[in-house]
Chain A
Amino acid sequence: MPRIIKYVFYDILRTRFILLYTMFLLLSTIAMFQLDTDSSKVILSLMNVVLMVVPLVSVVFTTIHFYNSYEFIELMLAQPVNRPVIFLGEYFAVALSLCFAFTAGVGIPMLMYGSGIHGFTLLYSGLMLTLVFVSLAFLSSVLTRDKAKAIGVALLFWFYFSLIYDGLLMWIIYSFSDYPLEKITLALVSLNPVDLARILMLLQLDISALMGYTGAFYKDFFGSSLGVIFSTSVLAIWIVLPVAIALQIFKRKDL
């Protein structure tokens, strides 16, 4: 496995996309720190970037990368290498490089300007979101042989979790506002990794009322440590489950 990861890693570095992504994050984070001196406001602006851009870049890059490494996968399959090793090697290499880019791009300015515990939470939720969307993209990549279709499905995941889901949730809460909805909404929020990451952040910042309804609603319900444990474990499921399903499909896939 380390050998596979190494070669996929080389391949990713050669495309320079990861470098561009790191530079983009680095520049936008520095710019935000320059514009505002209040670090919690900066974190809030960064949060919006993290919640939208990170999932988008993760799904698109992962799907494109997977299809570009079809040749590599084919070559490896003719060698004495186990299929799960190839697949997980691809996964870890992609996930590690995106996580590295995010940590470098957002983390370095934070160290430079200093942002304390809030910054740490932002890094943490950004990394979790990266892993979740890499997993989802791998799932959509093994579902079809058609590159365009896979990118479409991956984008749909992003669209759904970033935009459509919140709308649906708002609508449910609005329509059933006469009923006690606490537990139901909690369950519904767990079904969306982006919302979970948002809650993780909002628990740290005292500005939940400014954010979407989903965020504001659960500020009280999540006791800080319980909330973190809960959202972390649900996010972990969001990471592991799609990869596990994708791996099962990949094991039986014809190449």
Chain B
Amino acid sequence: MIYISDLSKQFGKLHALAHVNLEFSSGKSYALIGPNGSGKTTLIKSVLGMVVPTSGKIEVDGANIHNSWLYREKIGYMPQIGHYPENMRIGQLFDMVRNIRKNPPILDEELMEAFALTTIQDKRMHTLSGGTRQKVSAALAFLFNPPILILDEPTAGLDPVSVEILKDKILQEKDKGKLLIITSHIMSDLDDLATEVVYLHEGNVRYNNSIAELKDITGETRLGKAIVQMIRSLEKGIPEVINLK
């Protein structure tokens, strides 16, 4: 569904992404992990067309995304830090985004209601706390029922109740056969939500396989521990894990 070949991105001298080859297929849920500054957000933003790659190609549903924009109808994006027009009220923001989409499908307002955003729709964006902003971002990402969901640290800053609401929602969408790409530093969340793991390090894909396989190889039952083991053996250059592909 999303096909990335030989993607590179340079910011000045910094190689944010170096020759990344990846394939994301629908019905699967990918955990995109890696240390801070490893290129996770750059990769996501490249798929969304917010960052223009230095070289390489990205295809969504078989069509090259270069200079095209309609493909974004298929993507729901929840940014790491949601920036919204500060003077707008929550209700106005939702109305605007709804209005901007030309072919609105059946709307999915489940999260809006679950997060009780409809009751505070007169609040202006600049008065919102970080967590409430996250809720707005999440509700916007799911609103248009897109077949691809890209969630950049979805649970960061949310209260425990909201985290569970969001996780339930993500699982529910996953069961509908949608493609999910999730970045997070909270491994226990990813353990519940993802089936595949992509490990990025300094702009390179270092590991790309299913979580079950990873656990099997490392002999761990928890994703967090398995990842740590995987990273350690990558650092030591032990080939057994690297050669999994």
The answer to whether A7 touches B73, judged by C-beta atoms less than 8 angstroms apart, is no
Give A78's nearest chain B residue, CB to CB.
B77
- Which residues of chain A are near B49, meaning CB under 8 Å? 77
Whole-angstrom distance between the alpha carbons of A69 and B69 in the complex?
Answer: 20
Asked whether A71 is an interface residue with its Cβ less than 8 Å from the other chain, the reply is: yes
Given A69-B85, A80-B69, A83-B69, A74 contacting B50 (CB threshold 8 A): yes
The answer to whether B83 touches A75, judged by C-beta atoms less than 8 angstroms apart, is yes
The answer to whether B97 touches A70, judged by C-beta atoms less than 8 angstroms apart, is no
Cβ contacts A212-255/B at 8 Å (1 or 0 each): 00000000000000000000000000000000000000001111
Given A78-B77, A79-B72, A71 contacting B87 (CB threshold 8 A): no
The answer to whether B50 touches A255, judged by C-beta atoms less than 8 angstroms apart, is yes
CB distance from A89 to the nearest CB of B (A): 11
The answer to whether B87 touches A80, judged by C-beta atoms less than 8 angstroms apart, is no
Asked whether A20 is an interface residue with its Cβ less than 8 Å from the other chain, the reply is: no
Whole-angstrom distance between the alpha carbons of A82 and B51 in the complex?
Answer: 14
The answer to whether B102 touches A78, judged by C-beta atoms less than 8 angstroms apart, is no
The answer to whether B99 touches A71, judged by C-beta atoms less than 8 angstroms apart, is no
Whole-angstrom distance between the alpha carbons of A83 and B50 in the complex?
Answer: 10
Most chain A CB within 10 A, of B50, B77, B99, is at B50
- Which residues of chain B are near A183, meaning CB under 8 Å? none
CB distance from A227 to the nearest CB of B (A): 42
Whole-angstrom distance between the alpha carbons of A98 and B102 in the complex?
Answer: 29
Interface hits, B84-129 → A, CB 8 Å: 84-88, 96-97, 99-102
- Which residues of chain A are near B73, meaning CB under 8 Å? 80
Q: How many interface residues does chain B have, given as a range?
A: 20 to 34
- Which residues of chain A are near B50, meaning CB under 8 Å? 74, 77-78, 254-255
Whole-angstrom distance between the alpha carbons of A232 and B84 in the complex?
Answer: 40
Whole-angstrom distance between the alpha carbons of A183 and B235 in the complex?
Answer: 71
Give B78's nearest chain A residue, CB to CB.
A78
Whole-angstrom distance between the alpha carbons of A83 and B66 in the complex?
Answer: 12
Give A85's nearest chain B residue, CB to CB.
B69
Whole-angstrom distance between the alpha carbons of A77 and B72 in the complex?
Answer: 9
- Which residues of chain A are near B87, meaning CB under 8 Å? 11, 14-15
Cβ contacts B190-221/A at 8 Å (1 or 0 each): 00000000000000000000000000000000
Given B51, B85, B101, which contacts A75 in the complex, CB threshold below 8 Å? B85
Whole-angstrom distance between the alpha carbons of A255 and B48 in the complex?
Answer: 11
Asked whether B14 is an interface residue with its Cβ less than 8 Å from the other chain, the reply is: no
The answer to whether B83 touches A70, judged by C-beta atoms less than 8 angstroms apart, is yes
CB distance from A7 to the nearest CB of B (A): 6
Whole-angstrom distance between the alpha carbons of A7 and B99 in the complex?
Answer: 10
Given A3-B99, A83-B69, A78 contacting B48 (CB threshold 8 A): yes
- Which residues of chain A are near B97, meaning CB under 8 Å? 75, 79
Give A82's nearest chain B residue, CB to CB.
B69
Given A74-B50, A252-B52, A255-B51, A80 contacting B86 (CB threshold 8 A): no
Whole-angstrom distance between the alpha carbons of A72 and B97 in the complex?
Answer: 10
Give A8's nearest chain B residue, CB to CB.
B85
Asked whether A81 is an interface residue with its Cβ less than 8 Å from the other chain, the reply is: yes
Give A79's nearest chain B residue, CB to CB.
B100
Give B87's nearest chain A residue, CB to CB.
A14
The answer to whether B85 touches A77, judged by C-beta atoms less than 8 angstroms apart, is no
Asked whether B161 is an interface residue with its Cβ less than 8 Å from the other chain, the reply is: no
Given A69-B85, A71-B84, A252-B52, A80 contacting B101 (CB threshold 8 A): yes
Asked whether A27 is an interface residue with its Cβ less than 8 Å from the other chain, the reply is: no
Cβ contacts B25-55/A at 8 Å (1 or 0 each): 0000000000000000000010011111000
Given B51, B72, B83, which contacts A80 in the complex, CB threshold below 8 Å? B72
Q: A residues touching B (Cβ–Cβ < 8 Å)?
A: 3-4, 7, 11, 14-15, 69-72, 74-83, 252-255
The 4 closest A-B pairs by CB, nearest first: A71-B83, A80-B72, A80-B73, A254-B51
Of the A-B pairs whose beta carbons lie under 8 Å apart in the complex, a sample of 13, sorted by A's number, is A3-B99, A11-B85, A11-B87, A69-B85, A71-B83, A75-B83, A77-B48, A78-B72, A78-B75, A79-B100, A80-B102, A252-B52, A254-B45
Q: B residues touching A (Cβ–Cβ < 8 Å)?
A: 11, 45, 48-52, 69-73, 75, 77, 79, 83-88, 96-97, 99-102
Known pairs A3-B100, A80-B102, A254-B11 / 18 extra A-B pairs, C-beta < 8 Å? A4-B100, A7-B96, A14-B87, A15-B87, A71-B83, A74-B79, A75-B83, A75-B97, A77-B48, A78-B77, A79-B97, A79-B101, A80-B72, A80-B73, A80-B101, A252-B52, A254-B52, A255-B45
